[in-house]
Amino acid sequence: MPERARTLLVVNPAAGHGLGRKTFDRLEPRLRESFPGLEIRLSEYPGHAVELGRRASGEGFARLLCLGGDGTPFEVVNGLYADGRPPLRPEIGLIPAGTGNSFIRDFGVTAAEEALANIVAGRRRAVDLVEFEHRREGRLVTLYSLNILGVGLIADILKLTNERLKFLGSAGYSLAVLLRLAKGMDNQIDFQTDGRKWTVRDSAFVVSNSKYTGGKMKIAPSADVADGKADLVVFREVNRREIIAIFKGVFSGKHAAHPKVEIHPAAEIRVEADPPLRVMADGELLGETPLRLRVLPRELPILA
């Protein structure tokens, strides 16, 4: 077998409260049959898949399969890019086995077996990758996102979900929205998108490369993973009543028609906030604003 035909599978057995392990056990025979010589590495703790991705970047794999939730490809891709953009990028295969599995929904895929069938068939699409810089522990850090960056309210909701409500699955995220809204918002956010500047108060926003977040929430209904832009979705100057009304339409995408929701597709976005706001990416809690990002058009070949 030519070296560039080698395949690595990174498995997060803890994804989806153990669904990762169950899915891997179920699919392992077909995986080994479909990819002779398949190498398998397990992610054993948070951040481990970053190390696995970094090791894999120089090992000549043609395919790098990720079995887990949205956090698994997030970590693997950031490992691949830890030393800068790799000159040779393997095809990234996605096998959903997490709580939300948001990014892969843009491909019309929700089941692990369906995803594996598409990978084996070579169903391939080049997708955009979002390169972003934020502040973490007093220094600026550059990372990469496939799915979504949530800032302020959205990241706070994720933190509450992870710490107290994750056992409820997608229902836990919905409950966290209501609990977090009880605190309201008090902030000023300065945006710059492709050169245009404006300011909002008491607002929240996400930057989405794909349509879905939190599983089935269609947060950016017009987003396209291969259009060279990310969708900045702003919930502008909203009170508790308005954000609850907006939230009711998130699963269908109808929230986009609400007068307090603005969507701005952009290739480059800069954000300053007072006070600094918490940042999450692809379901992973990170640092805080300021935030600088740019879209790398059709950067990664995705199998799904």
Q: How confident is the model at residue 243 (pLDDT cuts 50, 70, 90)?
A: confident
Residue 1: its pLDDT value, please? 36
Which uninterrupted H or E stretch holds 26? helix 15-34
Q: Rounded to an integer, what distance in angstroms lies between the CA atom of residue 193 and that of residue 214?
A: 25
- Full-model pTM: 0.92
Residue 170: its pLDDT value, please? 65
Residue 206: its pLDDT value, please? 95
CA 240 → CA 119, 217, 223, 257, distances in Å? Answer: 43, 19, 26, 18
Q: Which residues contact 132 (CB under 8 A, 6 or more apart)?
A: 142, 143, 144, 145, 149, 207, 281, 291, 292, 293, 294
Q: Is the Cβ–Cβ distance between 42 and 51 less than 8 Å?
A: no
Taking the alpha carbons at both ends of the chain, their separation in whole angstroms is 23
Q: How confident is the model at residue 168 (pLDDT cuts 50, 70, 90)?
A: confident
Give percent of the chain with pLDDT exceeding 90. 75
Q: Rounded to an integer, what distance in angstroms lies between the CA atom of residue 203 and that of residue 260?
A: 10
Q: How confident is the model at residue 240 (pLDDT cuts 50, 70, 90)?
A: confident
Q: What is the pLDDT of residues 25-51, one digit of tens each?
A: 999 999 999 999 999 999 999 999 999
Residue 3: its pLDDT value, please? 43
Please name each of the domains of the chain with its CATH number.
Answer: 3-122 (3.40.50.10330), 130-297 (2.60.200.40)
Give percent of the chain with pLDDT exceeding 70. 98
Does position 177 have pLDDT exceeding 80, yes or no?
A: no
Helix, strand, coil percent values for the chain (each to nearest 5): 30, 35, 35
Q: What is the pLDDT of residues 88-136, one digit of tens each?
A: 899 999 999 998 899 999 999 999 999 999 999 999 999 999 999 999 9
| Tokens, residue 58 | 């120089």
Q: Fill in the amino acid letter for 183.
A: K
